Structure 1
Amino acid sequence: MIPIALDPRLTSLAVAGNGTLALRRYRALRAAGAEGALLFSDDPSAEAVEAAGANLRLALPDDAALAALHVLWIVDLPAEAAEALATRARAARVLVNVEDVPPFCDFHSVAEIRRGDLLLTISTAGAAPGLAGVLRRDLETRFGPEWAERVAHVRALRRAWQQEGVKMPEAARRIATLVEEEGWLA
């Protein structure tokens, strides 16, 4: 697996599917900053209609819609429909994840913890999602909400150091010293 972090402002993302899991995946994308993410559903719940609003498409993606995407999560569709959609998406050069069907996945979604701009992820390459969930819950207790402020503080320090001409190795040393002195990992 090759870990990457996609900027949702520069990437066209969508979920295709019906049901609770599709809506959960869509909400996770929105929470990650993908305000333009689309939800394609040929049988949306009232909750999905409300959550997606103008970003809801009342059908599964056709070839034109696929051509406009970079990444597609397929969730809560019958196996035959999911496989056919995944095949069409790949033909359009779209990265595909068919949730819980590793052979149809170009990538696997990670278990994640968000604290402002801090993003911690756990992956088992799709082999043990339950284990990834256990590890995520443990890390959530170790990295609480205070980490959002800590990252913002370090960002401000880095910007000031960059203006002073401080090079990256020195900035890294200063950050390590700050973390140690403040006991952030104690």
Structure 2
Amino acid sequence: MIPVALDPARVRIALAGQGPLAKRRLAQLLDGGASPAVYSPDPDAEIATLAGDRLVRSLPSPDALASVQVLFVVGLEDMVAEDLARRARERGILVNVEDVIPLCDFHAPSVVRRGDLLMTVSTGGKSPALAQMVRERLEALFPASWAERLGEIAALRDRLRAEGAKGPDVLRASRDFIAGKGWLP
């Protein structure tokens, strides 16, 4: 596995699916700043609300797939998901079919988000339970206050850069600042 963090402002993302797992995945994409096209033949009220005007009440057409770079497939019948994944892959689209490892080009990790601080855990799909447990530990170790802490560290970095400090000096000062605050055990 190769970890990658995608910038949703630069990557066209879509979700095709329905049900509670699709709703969860859509919420995660939205939390990450994505504004995905959502294709759902039979969406429930929650997915419809979350998707808003991005909702298309069908599976993606070939023309619609042409504008996608990353596709999440969630909660569809196995044969439908497999066909959609094949058609997407033929167009060079990266595909993740939730909980069907052989149909995935990538795995979506467990996520802890504290503002712009993003921590992920992946087992390559081998143990979602372990990934969940590690994520829960990270949530406890990094409470919501880390969003503000990152802001403090970023302000220090920006000030040092504006004063002409070079990379190694900024790194050292940042590490000293974090250690001085006692934020990490």
Q: Hey, what does 2:20 align to over in structure 1?
A: 20
- Root-mean-square deviation (CA, aligned residues, Å) is 0.8
**Contact 1:14–1:26 (CA<8 Å) still a contact in 2?**
no
Q: Distance in 2 between matches of 1:179 and 1:47?
A: 41
Aligned-residue offset at 1:95 = 0.3
Any stretches of 5+ residues in structure 1 without a counterpart? none
1:137 is aligned to 136
Partner of 2:67: 68
Match of 2:44 in 1: 45
2:152 matches 1:153: yes
Unaligned runs of 5+ residues in structure 2 are: none
User: Among the aligned pairs, what percent are the same residue?
Assistant: 46
TM-score with structure 1 setting the length? 0.97
Paired residue secondary structure (2:102): helix
Cα distance in 1 between the residues matched to 2:36 and 2:89? 19
Offset at residue 54 of structure 1 (A): 0.2
Q: Counterparts of 1:116 and 1:22 in 2: how far apart (Å)? A: 23
With the length of structure 2 as denominator, give the TM-score of the two structures: 0.98
Q: 2: CA distance between counterparts of 1:146 and 1:115?
A: 8
Determine helix, strand or coil for the equivalent of 1:16: strand
User: Aligned to 1:121, what secondary structure does the other structure show?
Assistant: strand
* SS at structure 1 position matched to 2:105: coil
Residues 70 and 93, structure 1, Cα contact 8 Å, conserved in 2: yes
Tell me the number of residue pairs that the alignment of Structure 1 and Structure 2 aligns. 185
Residue 31 of structure 1 deviates from its aligned partner by 0.7
Whether the aligned pair in 2 keeps the contact of 1:16 and 1:39 (CA below 8 Å) is: yes
Distance in 1 between residues matched to 2:50 and 2:166, nearest whole Å: 45
Runs ≥4 in structure 1, deviation > 2 angstroms?
Answer: none
Contact preservation (8 Å) 1:16, 1:73: yes
Other-structure match for 2:29: 29
